[in-house]
Each structure stands twice: as C-alpha cells, then as structure tokens.
Amino acid sequence: AVGSRRSAPSHTLQQRTASPLASVFVVSLVIPAGGVLQLVLYFGVLAAAASGPAHQLLRAFTAPETSDAWRNGRFKIIPGVEAGPWIVRKARHLAVDLAFLIEPQSASELAERVLGCVRISHVSLANGLIPAYCGTEGEDE
C-alpha cells in the first residue's frame, strides 16, 4: 500500500506522533490558480479520540458505500484570511486558515468536531503559489 512506504507522509505522521493514531485523514484540494495548484494535507486521528459521534461520522464519511451526495452535503471547509491588508485587491501575499469538519445534522451526531486545521502563510496572489515546505534541520526527506 502507498501509505505503508517509509517515504509516505502518512507513515511519517504515524512515526512522529506521541500517541498512536487510529487513522490518517487526507484532504486533497485542487485550486485553479492560473495553472493547477494541488494542496495535499494529512491529519492524524488519535486512537484515544476514535470513539463517539464525531468518529462515527468520520467512519461513515470514509465508507465505500457512502454516496457522494452525502459526503458533499456534510464535508465543510471553513476559511479565514488572517493576514493581509484591508483591501485584498492590492495584496501581494496573505495567510489563509482552513478548518475541515464533517457537519452533524442530527442531535445524535453532536458534538461537532474539527478534523484538522492548517495555516498557509505567504500565499502569493501574483502567481497563486504556496511556498515550499522547509522541514526542520536534520529531518529526513
């Protein structure tokens, strides 16, 4: 499997967490910015948090028999622009926060939980590029 390769981001995520992970949730965003920009994010679900209504929603979301209509109706991205001038039209760079969740639609599915968050800093508005990731010194690539 792709995720079992030592070079796979999901494998790295499993190795670097202090607590065991029940699963890894991957979000792939394709952004039409001039050409095509793809952003792939990996979020670990802690084994200790792998119960309750929020985790049941995640399991239903990832189940092969779940319809695209169900997934599209529940998967939510909450954006926030945190750094940038008041007039975004004149901005060159900004920071964008994104939160991902699966929306509960009944009382039995509450409480709503954020699956993962990310801040993308120094996004260039001129060419739609996100700066390359630079790991800490001594990290394996």
pLDDT single digits (tens) 78-128:
998 875 556 555 666 778 899 999 999 999 999 889 999 999 887 766 665
CA distance 39 to 125: 16
CA distance 3 to 9: 8
- The pLDDT of residue 56 is 92
pTM: 0.72
Please give the backbone phi and psi of residue 32, each rounded to the nearest 5 degrees, phi first: -80, 95
- The pLDDT of residue 84 is 58
Report the DSSP beta bridge partners of residue 75.
Answer: 102
Is the model's pLDDT at 55 over the cut of 70?
yes
- The pLDDT of residue 92 is 67
Task: Record the tokens describing residue 45, joined without a space.
Answer: 């679900």
Q: Band of the pLDDT at 1, cuts 50, 70, 90?
A: low
Report the DSSP beta bridge partners of residue 120.
Answer: 96
Question: What mean pLDDT is predicted for residues 67-80?
Answer: 95
**Nearest Cα to 102, choosing from 141, 72, 66?**
72
Question: What mean pLDDT is predicted for residues 57-75?
Answer: 95
Q: Among the residues of the chain, which ranges form H helices?
A: 9-16, 53-62, 68-74
Task: Record the tokens describing residue 72, joined without a space.
Answer: 């599209």
- The pLDDT of residue 140 is 47
- The pLDDT of residue 126 is 65
Q: Band of the pLDDT at 131, cuts 50, 70, 90?
A: low
Strands 75-83 and 21-33: unpaired
Q: Band of the pLDDT at 141, cuts 50, 70, 90?
A: very low
Q: How many CA atoms within 13 Å lie on the side-chain side of 65?
A: 1
